[in-house]
């Protein structure tokens, strides 16, 4: 069913939520646009204007590492001050109510954690841009430290412990998917009796695999996304309306 308006979408989603015990949300950029986070991959998004730095280039060249950090600090205005939106708050409410064991996300903005979902219950398929790690020894570094070094020297820092490259904890283009996150995402998806895909075009692998995995496993499928997806025909509810408006009534007050 494609909901013709927000009111119908909310009413149907209420029924589905009430009838479910294990709700697993899967989120993409659309849930964070009302928070001022740019949608990198969409038409008009950053990656259509500025070529992404491939992981192999990051490894090979100090210049690419410097440029990568320069871009990251330029984005700090949108990432640094962003607060959870209505969608994040609604999902955090379902989590706190014990209706949802966790969320799978393509986003790197940390907003599910800020909204109150425990970090171990947020599965990040593309990592997290709000901190950095050493690619060799895995030690975590905070961005203000990296920035201080970068601004003092004009260069991306190396790891003081092992001299490895320090990179935001994101999965770059050309970098392999984190196996642990993929495994946990599959576990969550298989445990769901209601799978809600929110703000994702569900085109990019591995995102595309999860709705079908849930559906094949007997879960009901909801898709909340502005644009049609190729899974709309399989969905029990499609809501092509504004994400914040559809999810706002699910915020516990």
Residues marked as catalytic: 126
Element housing 252 (H / E): none
SS3 9: helix
Judged by CB under 5 A, does residue 132 bind Zn ion?
A: no
| Cα–Cα separations (whole angstroms), residue 20 to 8, 177, 192 | 19, 30, 9
Return all residues near 100 (Cβ < 8 A) that are at least 6 apart: 22, 23, 24, 25, 91, 94
Stretch that binds Zn ion, among 75-83, 126-134, 146-154, 201-209 (CB under 5 A): 126-134
Pick from 36, 38, 116, 164 the residue near Zn ion by CB under 5 A. 164
Judged by CB under 5 A, does residue 156 bind Zn ion?
A: no
159 vs 219, beta carbon nearer Zn ion: 159
97 vs 137, beta carbon nearer Zn ion: 137
Cβ 132 to Zn ion shortest distance, Å = 11
Cβ 141 to Zn ion shortest distance, Å = 9
Judged by CB under 5 A, does residue 137 bind Zn ion?
A: yes
Stretch that binds Zn ion, among 2-10, 86-94, 162-170, 239-247 (CB under 5 A): 162-170
Stretch that binds Zn ion, among 3-11, 137-145, 149-157, 213-221 (CB under 5 A): 137-145
Pick from 17, 91, 92, 159 the residue near Zn ion by CB under 5 A. 159
Sign for the pseudo-dihedral over CA of 203, 200, 184, 234 = negative
Element housing 152 (H / E): helix 143-153
Cβ 164 to Zn ion shortest distance, Å = 4
Q: Is the separation of the CB atoms in 223 and 232 below 8 Å?
A: yes
Judged by CB under 5 A, does residue 162 bind Zn ion?
A: yes
DSSP code for 158: B
The footprint of Zn ion on this chain (CB under 5 A) covers a number of residues equal to 7
Cβ 244 to Zn ion shortest distance, Å = 40
Angle at 77 between CA 71 and CA 80, to 5 degrees: 100
Cβ 46 to Zn ion shortest distance, Å = 29
Return all residues near 180 (Cβ < 8 A) that are at least 6 apart: none
Which burial class, exposed, middle or buried, applies to 44 when counting CB atoms under 10 A from its CB (0-12, 13-18, 19+)?
Answer: exposed
Judged by CB under 5 A, does residue 146 bind Zn ion?
A: no
- Return residues touching Zn ion (CB under 5 A): 134, 136-137, 159, 161-162, 164
């Amino acid at each position: 069913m494609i909901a013709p308006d927000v009111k119908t979408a909310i009413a149907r989603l209420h029924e589905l939520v009430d009838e479910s015990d294990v709700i697993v949300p899967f989120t993409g950029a659309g849930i964070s646009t009302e928070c001022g986070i740019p949608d990198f991959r969409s038409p008009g998004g950053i990656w259509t204007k500025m070529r992404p730095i491939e992981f192999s280039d990051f490894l090979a060249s100090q210049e690419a590492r410097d440029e990568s950090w320069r871009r990251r600090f330029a984005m700090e205005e949108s990432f640094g001050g962003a607060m959870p939106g209505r969608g994040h708050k609604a999902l955090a409410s379902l989590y706190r109510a014990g209706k949802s064991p966790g969320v799978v996300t393509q986003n790197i903005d940390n907003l599910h954690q800020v909204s109150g979902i425990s970090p171990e219950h947020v599965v990040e398929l593309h990592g997290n841009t709000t901190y950095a790690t050493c690619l060799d020894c895995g030690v975590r570094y905070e961005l203000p430290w990296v920035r201080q070094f970068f601004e003092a020297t004009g260069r991306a820092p190396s790891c003081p412990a092992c001299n490895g490259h320090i990179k935001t904890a994101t999965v770059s283009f050309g970098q392999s998917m984190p196996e642990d996150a993929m495994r946990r995402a599959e576990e969550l998806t298989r445990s769901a009796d209601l799978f809600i895909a929110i703000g994702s075009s569900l085109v990019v692998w591995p995102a595309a695999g999860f709705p079908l995995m849930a559906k094949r496993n007997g879960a009901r499928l909801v898709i909340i996304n502005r644009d049609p997806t190729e899974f709309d025909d399989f969905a029990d509810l499609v809501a092509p309306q504004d994400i914040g408006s559809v999810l706002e009534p699910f915020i516990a007050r």
